[in-house]
Chain A
Amino acid sequence: MALMDLANPTRFLALSGRVLPWLTGLALATLALGFFLAFRAPEDYQQGETVRIMYIHVPFAWLAMFGYSMLAASALGILVWRHPLADVAHKAMAPIGAVFAFLCLFTGSLWGRPMWGTYWVWDARLTSMLVLLLLYLGLLALRSAIEDPNQAGRAAAVLSLVGFVNVPIVKFSVDWWNTLHQPASVFRMDGPTIHSSLLWPLMICAIGFTLLMLALHMAAMRNEIYRRRLRVLEARAAAEAAYA
């Protein structure tokens, strides 16, 4: 089956209906394994037990950026190919990405208090992540403010493409500016600087959260397709009632 064949709402519903239970189960099993390993991993020599926060904070940060990248890719599908499934994917991702961005900031703030002595500083990493959360919330607000769904989809697509410039800023802010937030320690040109006893649980948690985000997105896309069908049927029912 060609990839484009899958980009059809009816085929997507059929395929996702079969995949979703397995994807959800795999996500939960991977997260269970990840947490098991995370809480058995040794303490960090400097941070002590608070390093346990890393196993959720770092995946939330990665996935907040990944979610926004998916939004930007969907925005291209809306604006260039005008594909209805791209609009469905775009609309479904915004609230999920917003939750991951919020959790990244929340867990980072609670990690910062014992390590830095403060919940918040206006450094480049924290501020650009806050901007990412505001972009997600702005997309949600924009969609709900415009009544025409097609117009709302196009406006949200333009905003998400413009906002995508913030994603590399989040990623490289710790290299470009002098920040309180530590520099990258996993995805580096010279390899990770985290010991493997901490790195493996982190990677397994990250895979688990990625699968969870994909499962939530797939479920939300299915809801949105059904919602659009419902809208069509309600309009048809109203038209039939008017002619009767």
Chain B
Amino acid sequence: MFGEHGFFILACYGVSALALGSLALWIFADGRLVRRRLTELEARGVRRRSAGRIDA
């Protein structure tokens, strides 16, 4: 596949997919962790002063 330079082409695409996939997974997992800890604190009654008029 891709002739004599197939290794170079596949390695470029493979490592790029791995790096970008890992970055996306890290961001996704980080967001889940932070939001879970935030929810736990809020469940214990600790809230931001402006919590009544937020949104998100």
Contacts and interface: CB of A to CB of B under 8 A. Distances in A.
Contacts of B56: 10, 13-14, 17
A232 B42 CA distance: 12
A102 B23 CA distance: 12
Interface in A52-83: 52-53, 56-57, 60
B12 A48 contact: no
Interface string B1-38: 01111101101110110011001100110110011011
A226 B12 contact: no
- The size class of the interface chain A forms with chain B is 35 or more
Given A49-B9, A107-B12, 9 more contacts: A10-B55, A10-B56, A57-B12, A60-B16, A106-B16, A114-B4, A219-B27, A223-B31, A233-B46
A40 interface: no
Interface string A191-226: 000000000000000000000100010011011001
A220 B29 CA distance: 11
A110 B8 contact: yes
A111 B56 CA distance: 45
Interface residues of B, number: 34
A49 B12 contact: no
A236 B34 contact: no
A57 B8 CA distance: 12
A107 B15 CA distance: 9
Interface of B: 2-6, 8-9, 11-13, 15-16, 19-20, 23-24, 27-28, 30-31, 34-35, 37-38, 41-42, 44, 46-48, 50, 54-56
Interface string A99-141: 1001100110011011000000000000000000000000000
Contacts of B19: 99, 102-103
B30 to A, nearest CB: 5
Contacts of B15: 103, 106-107
Given A10-B56, A13-B55, A230 B30 contact: no
Contacts of A17: 56
Given A53-B8, A110-B11, A230-B41, A96 B23 contact: yes
A233 B41 contact: yes
